Structures are given as C-alpha cells and as structure tokens.
Structure 1
Amino acid sequence: MNTSCKANTELSRCISSSINHNLFKIGKDHSTRRLLPFLSKNCKNEIKMRRGTRKGRGVVSMSRTEAAEKSDGLTYKDAGVDIDAGSELVKRIAKMAPGIGGFGGLFPLGDSYLVAGTDGVGTKLKLAFETGIHDTIGIDLVAMSVNDIITSGAKPLFFLDYFATSRLDVDLAEKVIKGIVDGCQQSDCALLGGETAEMPDFYADGEYDLSGFAVGIVKKDSVIDGKNIEVGDVLIGLPSSGVHSNGFSLVRRVLERSGLSLKDNLPGSSLSLGKALMAPTVIYVKQVLDIISRGGVKGIAHITGGGFTDNIPRVFPKGLGALVYENSWAVPPVFKWIQEAGRIEGAEMNRTFNMGIGMVLVMKEEAALRLLGDDHGKNSVYRIGEVVSGDGVSYR
C-alpha cells in the first residue's frame, strides 16, 4: 500500500518527503515499526501529556462478571469495566509523569504545538465481528483520536493505524482500512502509515484489534485550554450519531438481558439494532474548527465513556461546575432502549454514554447566541447548559 502526504506550511521542517510501503509491512508475531520521540532538555518542560481512562480512555479491564445477575439494574462495572479503577491508575501515573490528564498531548514546535492522541474502539469490535460490518469501524478509529486533539483547537495533520490479527484475511482488512481512509478524508488529514501484525494463536479466528494515533497542530497563542472559563459561560452541545465507540461492554450485557439479537429491529424503529449500534462515530473536526474560527470558544470536551459526568469537568478551572439543562436536546432512541432494557439508572447512563451529545463547547454567551442563531433550526448545535460555581455536573 502506498500513501502520500502534502507538506504542511505550518511545520518548520519536512516530516516526510515520501511514504515507504514498508510502513504497512506485515510483522510476524509482533509489531516491528515504531515511531520514537526524541526530546531535547529544553523542550521537556513544555510537553503536556495526555492520559485518560476508558471512562473515556486508556486501559481498564474488559472481562465479564456475574455481578449483573445479582442485581436488578445493570451498571458499567457489572459489565466488567471499572471506571474508578481506571481513574486510580491515572492518578498513580500522574505521580510519575506530572501534567497528564488532557484530551491531547502537546509538544512544542516553534510558535506552535503538535497535539497528539491515541485510542482504539473498545469492544465495539465485538459487534463488528457479529454483524459483519467492517467498513465503518475504521471511521470510529480515526474519530476517537482526532476528536480528542481538536479539543485543544488543533488541526489534524496525519494519522497512523495498527491492525493486528491471528491470520490475515486480506479482504476483511481492506474493508477496515477503507474505513480508516474515509475517516482521514473526513478529518482532512493524511493517512501517513500503519502496521499490520499477523500473530498466530493470539486472537480468535476472524477477529482483530485496532488502535490509532493522530497528530495535529495549533499556534501556541490559539490553544484552547479552558483557563478563562467563568460563571455564566454557555455549554453548546454537538449531536452524536448514537453510542459512538464507548460503553459497548455494557451494551452487550443489555443485549443478553433483552433477549433480542442484532438482527432484530430497534424497538419503535425500522432500523436493526446492529445498524443502530454500529453507526460510525461522528468526526467533528470541520464543524469544531469552523466554530473556533468564529471566536468565543473557551473550552472543549469530547464526550466519550464517562459521559458528561467525567468529561466536562476535565476542561474547567477549579471551583467551577456545569449545570446541564435536561430535555434540551434530542436523545437518540438507542439510548432509551439501552436504559429500559438494562434497567439502568439515569446517573449510570450519564456516566457511561454520550446520551446524544458527542462534543461540548464552552463559549462566551454572545458567541453562543450568534452560533445558535446561525443554526436556523437545523439542530446541528444545542444550548445544553451553563457554567456555575461549584464542581462536577448537575442537572435541571
């Protein structure tokens, strides 16, 4: 496979003059290609690293438990994902590497920052295996990383992927890579390279794993970091396409409890559960960068696992919280089914899923009003709340 990229005029030196097909070389039993950062003593203090948990990010256990069978309402922890354990790991890592915790990691480059992010698509892959829908999972992969780095105001430059499987099925892999290419096109960034690792006996037959890595750029004086957020600022929500790429361990437990299959229709809809759940994650790059260009954006939160509860506070200064207006946006039917079929408490839903809002922008009120006025009833943006004194997220 050959790819090409255009030189970006904002970079002070050429990253790559040509792309060698060996970047996509198939490794035997292990990954053979790595990109290693070389840091000078002068720039180490400027590096801002990113690490979160699979409340949105990082690595936590995905094993199943029997706890759900002993309780009436399901929880994410019942499904094998312990958000609190993931948060504890981040705290411990922060002691070793102070400064982590944002959605993207910032690396100084002249008068700009390179902003990097990495992620996977979680156990949504299990549904891809069951439904046979492989041509959009690559869009999810790109979305999870580029949606993170745009929270700093960065324009994505390039993306790399990692595809691992026990036995390479070329036709299936091509479908996955096609989705990655589509995601990069939606993000207006280059697919710079990747790794295909064939590892016999490591994965079940017909299954694979994915991860991705994105790098963008933003001027240092244009970084969006939330530091000037204040009481009275407005929360603007951008609608999601559904579950996106978080919470699928819980979704699969709900499916088991409901007795429905992925081929059955979503209750009250002509759409099958499989298609509703596999709807690709929205890539917000162009919409968010356009809104930023209009001015007034102070902070941005990518709403992944952890929902509003854990993600919105990540961009606030200490002493500030969010008041979310209930019923201020359209919640997709798939979330209503998940909650009813799993008998899941509202607080658990709000801490696990995006509930129909995939990105939250904190804006000056006058800028938010202009944006809402320009929407002209298209429902591409919603006014979903405001910044208040306190901490955490409350609902009214």
Structure 2
Amino acid sequence: MADHHPEPLDPQPSLSYRDAGVDIEAGDALVERIKPFAKRTMRPEVLGGIGGFGALFELSKKYKEPVLVSGTDGVGTKLKLAFQLDKHDTVGQDLVAMSVNDILVQGAEPLFFLDYFACGKLDVDTAADVVQGIARGCELAGCALIGGETAEMPGMYPEGEYDLAGFAVGVVEKADIIDGSRIVPGDVVLGLASSGAHSNGYSLIRKIVERAGTDMMAPFHGRPFRDVVMEPTRIYVKPMLELMRAMPGVVKGMAHITGGGITENVPRILREELTARIDGDTWALPQMFRWLQFAGGVNQDEMYRVFNCGIGMVVIVSAADAEAAEAKLAAAGETVYRIGVIDTRREGEAQTIID
C-alpha cells in the first residue's frame, strides 16, 4: 500500500523572528544602552560584566559565617499609572526598593540585584528609562546590578505595557541576624518617614483617582499631582547599615511597611506575647494620604492596613538606645519619629494597636 504524504504547500514568503513580533536588534540595542547604568553599580566582588549566561559574584572573606538573604518582588499596579502617564523613570527604583528594604530588615547588606522586564513589543527608550531607574535604586542601596532578562513576548501584554520583577541577594553574619527575638516590653518603636505611597495600595489609589476625576497634572502642594503619586520608594539601606555598624546590636527588630501597612507588618517581627502600641499622633499624616482618605472616604483602620501612612520603615531599639539611634539616623538624612512602645500582650489583643 502506497504511503500517503501531505500535499506539498505552495512556497510561502520567508518568515523571520521579527515578523513574529520579536526584534533581536532592539534587544541588543537595549543591552548597549544599559551597560553604562549597570557599570556605575559595580562592586569589587563582581566577576565579569553584563552579557554572560550567569552573573558571578565572589563572597567577601570578611564574613566568618556568612548567611545569604534573598528577596523578590514587583511594583504592582503602580505600573498602570506609569503606562497612563507615560512616566517610566521612577518605577525601577520602586522595584529595587521593595526587595532591598525587605532583606535589610534581617540585618543583611544587599550585594547584587537581578531584574526581569517583560513586554509584548520592546520599546528601547521606555525599557532604558526603567533600567536607568533600577540602576539608580541599586546605587542608593549599594548593590550591584549584576544581570537581568528582557523578554519580548508578542501577544502576552497589551501595547505599551510591561511587567517587572526584581531579585535581591544580601549577606549577614550569622551572629548578627535580626529576627526580633531580643525585643522586650519597654522597647521603643521608631518610625522612618516614607517618601509617599511607595509601591503599595495602588489599586485603591487608582480607584480613588478615577472616581474623583483628578487631573494628574494639577498642582498639589507645590508639585504636579502625578509626581507626588509616582514618587519612588525610599531606600533605607545605607542609613540603617551605618547605624548597625556604628552601634552593633542596637537594632532589635525592623519591619518594612509594605502591603498590609503598619497593622500587619509590625507583628511579623514580634513574639506572640508582645504587642506594639503605636500613637498615631506622633507623626503628621502626609498630605497625599489625607487627600486619599478624604476623596475615597477611607476609614482610619483601612488606611493603616493598606498604606504606610507616612512611615516606611519601623525600627525597634531599647529605651536606653533610642535617643542615640534617632540622632544617628537623622544625621544620615532620615526623618525619624518615636511612634510607640512594646508592651506585654493581653489575651485577645492585636499585636499592633494604633491609637
């Protein structure tokens, strides 16, 4: 019996990857554009440069028992505002901040950062703006932008949109890991000022802005509203590392105030039998949060649960060390508030109480 083969197709025009929507040349152009940004973030432990299959990083010999601490995050729906406003120069710093501030709370010095940028069609100018922001964040955190991935995936994302993910690795001496285990009643809760909403609560922010019909270019306390709402996340790494080096053991616990706000992040560093009593009158609610609360009719508990409300990092120290720690952080450029105390938790009580 004769074999049956498919009928030969008529010759078709030759297809390329570019015809399928992927521009290899644009990817190459982006790599060349971002090399100078990445170069500024290099540390002596980095072996080799951008372009290899894997990034090499040599661990310093100064550590006796080095423990690696890693974190990963994205920017969330703040990106939707970046697309809407065509403003891409700040979200890269947000990306770095979310991971480096997270690993900092365990006492780790961020060593290097990797990014993942995914889009439907690569716009080199937009991507370069984003990566320049990532490099700026890495400089502020003192970590090397050691590598990343740019994925052009036609059909996966609407035109003009992209997604970001970031990955940070840091190191801490095993004996110096900060885990909250030394926190006791009577310790003082310090709050470091945030620069804005950072990268949290933007689904609610967008809803409020949309419902209020806000003009994003309108002046808001001396700045365009869009700049206030897109203000990049503050990076607390260098001032906190400076404090920990100058006053070893002084920091008993830290909480990065991200999704879940003060209410849900502070309990993550407290033992079951402890509670943090926070006095909401010890710092002024920044104007943007006042506007969000008013325009959205958001109740106070929800504000504290969704937004940082002006406190981006919480630091717990003993009462005896509080004044010196405040002075050190203020000298490093931080705005510091004494926002509460640690107390013994009563039965049925929440682990963070904001009065």
TM-score band, normalised by shorter chain: 0.7 to 0.9
| Identity within the alignment, % | 48
Say which of 318, 333, 337 aligns to 1:382.
337
Q: Which residue of 2 aligns with 1:11?
A: none
Is residue 55–residue 146 contact of structure 2 (8 Å, CA) maintained in 1?
A: no
- Over aligned residue pairs, what C-alpha RMSD do you find? 2.1
Q: Which residue of 2 aligns with 1:313?
A: 267
CA distance in 2, matches of 1:135, 1:124: 13
Is residue 43–residue 143 contact of structure 2 (8 Å, CA) maintained in 1?
A: no
Q: How do 1:231-250 and structure 2 match up within 5 A?
A: 231-250=185-204
Say which of 319, 325, 330 aligns to 1:371.
325
CA distance in 2, matches of 1:312, 1:255: 29
Query: Does residue 1:218 correspond to 2:218, yes or no?
Result: no
CA distance in 2, matches of 1:140, 1:379: 18
Q: Deviations over 1:266-294 (max 9, x none)?
A: 3xx23222111000100100011122222
CA distance in 2, matches of 1:190, 1:395: 38
Query: Which one-letter code corresponds to 2:236 in the other structure?
Result: Y
Q: Secondary structure at the match of 2:127?
A: helix
Q: Which residue of 2 aligns with 1:161?
A: 115
Larger displacement relative to structure 2 (247-256 or 363-372): 363-372
Q: Which residue of 1 aligns with 2:86?
A: 132
CA distance in 1, matches of 2:337, 2:200: 22
Is residue 197–residue 229 contact of structure 2 (8 Å, CA) maintained in 1?
A: yes
1:369 Cα deviation (Å)? 1.7
Q: 1:110–1:289: structure 2 CA closer, same or farther, 3 Å change rule?
A: closer
Q: How do 1:226-375 and structure 2 match up within 5 A?
A: 226-266=180-220, 269-293=221-245, 294-295=247-248, 296-373=250-327, 375=330
Query: Does residue 1:123 correspond to 2:77, yes or no?
Result: yes
Q: Which residue of 1 aligns with 2:27?
A: none
CA distance in 1, matches of 2:155, 2:95: 24
Q: Deviations over 1:343-382 (max 9, x none)?
A: 0010000000000000000111111122234548x77211
1:259 Cα deviation (Å)? 1.8
Q: Secondary structure at the match of 2:105?
A: helix
Q: 1:128–1:292: structure 2 CA closer, same or farther, 3 Å change rule?
A: same
Q: Which residue of 1 aligns with 2:51?
A: 21
Q: Which residue of 1 aligns with 2:14?
A: none
CA distance in 2, matches of 1:271, 1:201: 37
CA distance in 2, matches of 1:232, 1:313: 16
Is residue 261–residue 306 contact of structure 2 (8 Å, CA) maintained in 1?
A: yes
CA distance in 1, matches of 2:50, 2:104: 28
Q: 1:170–1:292: structure 2 CA closer, same or farther, 3 Å change rule?
A: same
Say which of 146, 149, 158 aligns to 1:204.
158
Q: How do 1:80-159 and structure 2 match up within 5 A?
A: 111-159=65-113
Q: Deviations over 1:155-203 (max 9, x none)?
A: 0100000000000000111111100111111111100000000010111
Query: Which one-letter code corresponds to 1:263 in the other structure?
Result: M
1:110 Cα deviation (Å)? 6.5
TM-score normalised to the size of structure 1? Answer: 0.73
Misfit runs of 4+, over 6 Å = none
Query: Which one-letter code corresponds to 1:386 in the other structure?
Result: V
Is residue 239–residue 334 contact of structure 2 (8 Å, CA) maintained in 1?
A: no
CA distance in 1, matches of 2:198, 2:120: 26
Q: Secondary structure at the match of 1:297?
A: coil
CA distance in 1, matches of 2:218, 2:87: 16
Q: Is there any run of 5+ residues in structure 1 with no aligned partner, and where?
A: 9-15, 24-32, 36-108
CA distance in 2, matches of 1:324, 1:128: 34
Is residue 94–residue 198 contact of structure 2 (8 Å, CA) maintained in 1?
A: yes
Q: 1:34–1:166: structure 2 CA closer, same or farther, 3 Å change rule?
A: farther
Aligned length: 305
CA distance in 2, matches of 1:339, 1:132: 26
CA distance in 2, matches of 1:224, 1:261: 44
Q: 1:34–1:370: structure 2 CA closer, same or farther, 3 Å change rule?
A: closer
CA distance in 1, matches of 2:118, 2:55: 14
Query: Which one-letter code corresponds to 1:271 in the other structure?
Result: R
Q: Secondary structure at the match of 1:322?
A: strand
Q: Which residue of 2 aligns with 1:187?
A: 141
Query: Which one-letter code corresponds to 1:19 in the other structure?
Result: G
1:34 Cα deviation (Å)? 11
1:237 Cα deviation (Å)? 0.6
Is residue 97–residue 233 contact of structure 2 (8 Å, CA) maintained in 1?
A: yes
